[in-house]
Structure 1
């Protein structure tokens, strides 16, 4: 069953009762600053929740609720004053064989990691090519890049493909030449938000498979707590890009992340994804990807299952 993604953008008091997340609206009486009343809004079974996004400084969570969410392997995301995801909370214990799987992951050989990175980049470029093809862009350069990726990608075909991809993806949709970057102009704000949601989904799946999101295959930034999540999400990024492209076709102004725009991006965990010849929601597909990655670390397989945009 696909887990639900919950977004809270208004003041609220979140608690737990009978294994249900209880949402209460925080109401301040006119002219009062300290006195608040709470009005029950709804309840949601905790077992149905996969991601919770907190986007208001006046949201309160009880400790029992937080523990219950973590026990359910729910990713809890907090947003900063710019309403961009800034932090993520995941359980320390996500799998009964966690110690053994950590050991396999830590002891993975360099050749295996290079082969896994080769597969990741090939899958990423293939999906980027599929998105460009939907736009009518010539994808022969992308096919060339994909075919020539070697173990560890020493020739940086990922970077070459990215340059061609971003040059053409938003051509004719945004004014001027698009530059991809965290702090660049829109629609980078949409991409940043979407990737943050995707990152949470992948990190959640890694924890559920008993893997350590911090210890990456290729990403090694010592300040990054989610290096492996950043590795594994690469072939999934084009799904976010395609969603952002559809948003740009529907909205004239995306300079501000409105509630409506966020709602469009929060469907990412439920996007239809084809993996191993079968269609499933992205959140379910990511669990198959991370489970197959664990098989590789254990030596039971040499191939990770990646999503395919047809």
Structure 2
């Protein structure tokens, strides 16, 4: 079953009762002239086991410690946002798998040649998926992207990822003058940042569920980055976010703002349909297959990561 993503952008009280997330409105909760029976009628409850991601996007949200504990015990990712509404923090459980210690040791013992081969597979899939997005969005075949994907060597020493990215972004948003992919760049970079943050949370959750350390990457190794492995594994999934953002730009214009309506569309990322292993699957479920296969690569059971192919 696909886990739900819950977004809270208004003042709200969030608590736990009988393994249910209880949602209450502050004005109703504080009202002294309403009988308790009416207060309970405006409560909304959600089963904890059905929740995969919670996004907290308001300074006046109150959440109880017992609810946070229950969410983390059920491998839920909790995202907090800054004053601009952009994802800022990510809370994950410290344990997500019954054999976590064993899996950590196998991940730590992974050889450099294996990690380079896994990175090669990752970048090959990413570039091919980017090429498919360009074909679908711009209605043109990009043979150079396919060639670059095929030419990626172990560890990508030629940095074909960067070459493909430069071509990709220039082509995908060709109608936006001087567009470059940059965190602080012009729109729709704001949408891409938000979408990638949601994707990162989904992947980090999958890694924890598979008993892996999100911090220890196969390629990324920034000493200040707590989610290097998540950043590695999400690479082939980024084009799905890009395609969604492209559609939003077509619908709302090149100066699209990150409104609540747009955020709602971006929060569908975990449920986007992808194809993995010859079957169609929601993105969040596919990520679970990817992270499970990554562990099997570390343990020696597999030699290839299961990634979605567009």
Alignment TM class, shorter chain as reference: over 0.9
Deviation track 1:258-291 (CA, whole Å, cap 9, x = no partner) reads: 1100001000000001001010100000000000
Work out which of the residue numbers 123, 126, 144 in structure 1 matches 2:125: 123
The 2-side partners of 1:80 and 1:243 are apart by 23
The 2-side partners of 1:207 and 1:138 are apart by 38
Work out which of the residue numbers 163, 166, 169 in structure 2 matches 1:163: 166
What is the CA distance between 1:157 and its match in structure 2? Answer: 0.4
8 Å CA contact 2:249, 2:256 repeated in 1: no
8 Å CA contact 1:137, 1:168 repeated in 2: no
The 1-side partners of 2:170 and 2:255 are apart by 20
Gaps of 5+ in 2: none
Secondary structure, counterpart of 1:27 in structure 2? helix
The 2-side partners of 1:16 and 1:253 are apart by 42
Count of equivalent residues: 302
Partner residue, 2:3: 3
The 1-side partners of 2:279 and 2:43 are apart by 38
The 1-side partners of 2:144 and 2:134 are apart by 11
The 1-side partners of 2:204 and 2:25 are apart by 30
8 Å CA contact 1:269, 1:282 repeated in 2: yes
The 1-side partners of 2:182 and 2:148 are apart by 22
Secondary structure, counterpart of 1:81 in structure 2? coil
Secondary structure, counterpart of 2:164 in structure 1? helix
- Counting helix residues as a fraction of each chain, which structure ranks higher? 2
Partner residue, 1:228: 229
TM-score normalised to structure 1 length: 0.95
Where in structure 2 are the equivalents of 1:243-258 lying within 5 Å? Answer: 243-252=244-253, 254-258=255-259
Which aligned runs of 4 or more in structure 1 are off by greater than 3 angstroms? 35-41
Gaps of 5+ in 1: 30-34
Where in structure 2 are the equivalents of 1:1-310 lying within 5 Å? Answer: 1-27=1-27, 40-134=42-136, 135-172=138-175, 174=176, 176-252=177-253, 254-309=255-310
- Inter-CA distance 254–8: structure 2 relative to 1 (3 Å threshold): farther
The 2-side partners of 1:36 and 1:92 are apart by 39
What is the CA distance between 1:91 and its match in structure 2? Answer: 0.1
What is the CA distance between 1:26 and its match in structure 2? Answer: 1.3
The 1-side partners of 2:68 and 2:308 are apart by 31
Secondary structure, counterpart of 2:7 in structure 1? strand
8 Å CA contact 1:9, 1:54 repeated in 2: yes
What is the CA distance between 1:253 and its match in structure 2? Answer: 6.1
Cα RMSD for the two superposed structures: 1.5
